Amino acid sequence: MDSHKEIRQAYLGGFSILIIEGFLWILAGVLGSLISFKIGILLIIIGGTFFYPLGLLAQILLKRPKVKKENTLNGLFTQIGLMIPFSFPLIFMITKENVNLFFPALTIIVGIHYLPFIYAYKLKSYWILASLLVIGGSFFGFMLPDNFSYCAYYTGIVLIIFAIIHYFLVRKEILFSAKSQREERKGR
């Protein structure tokens, strides 16, 4: 099995991380609106550090196989994951004058950070996901700069939709591969 297929099938195209991240974005938007913008920001920043570990826990619960240590793409995910915290100084500079731009700025950065996933997973749907996040973050930042949470809701919903899409795309691939292997064994 090639490294891209192994990663794609083991992580179900990023399903568990996308779904966890999506719900956290929505929760951050709700708490940011109902309690305090600071709580919403802290939740997404602190919670964001746990997306990957929670995603790995979900992989165990979903009984997904582990990715082999020899897989050359493992290091790429570490580098991709560091893009977000390394962008926080930029996001804080942007939001210094208008805290309502926090979620739009972060949405754009998250969208950009999904571009390497196109290569890693070999899923072209990440082009669409990245584009929707960059366009959505830009729209909310420019057109609705006075609302704190709308962009968080948008981002959460988009991430959940793509989690579901990836789940079904990759499950179909896995089932087709298993069927092909069974037929191949029968033919021997």
How many beta carbons lie within 10 A of that of residue 167, not counting itself? 18
Residue 142 · residue 93 · CB < 8 Å: no
pLDDT in tens, the chain (188 residues): 688 888 888 888 999 999 999 999 999 999 999 999 999 999 999 988 888 788 888 888 888 888 888 888 888 877 888 888 899 999 999 999 999 999 999 999 999 999 999 999 999 999 999 999 999 999 999 999 999 999 999 999 999 999 999 999 999 998 887 776 666 667 66
What is the pTM (predicted TM-score) of this model? 0.91
Ordered by start, the domain boundaries in the chain are: 3-187
The conformation of residue 145, written as its DSSP 8-state character, comes to T
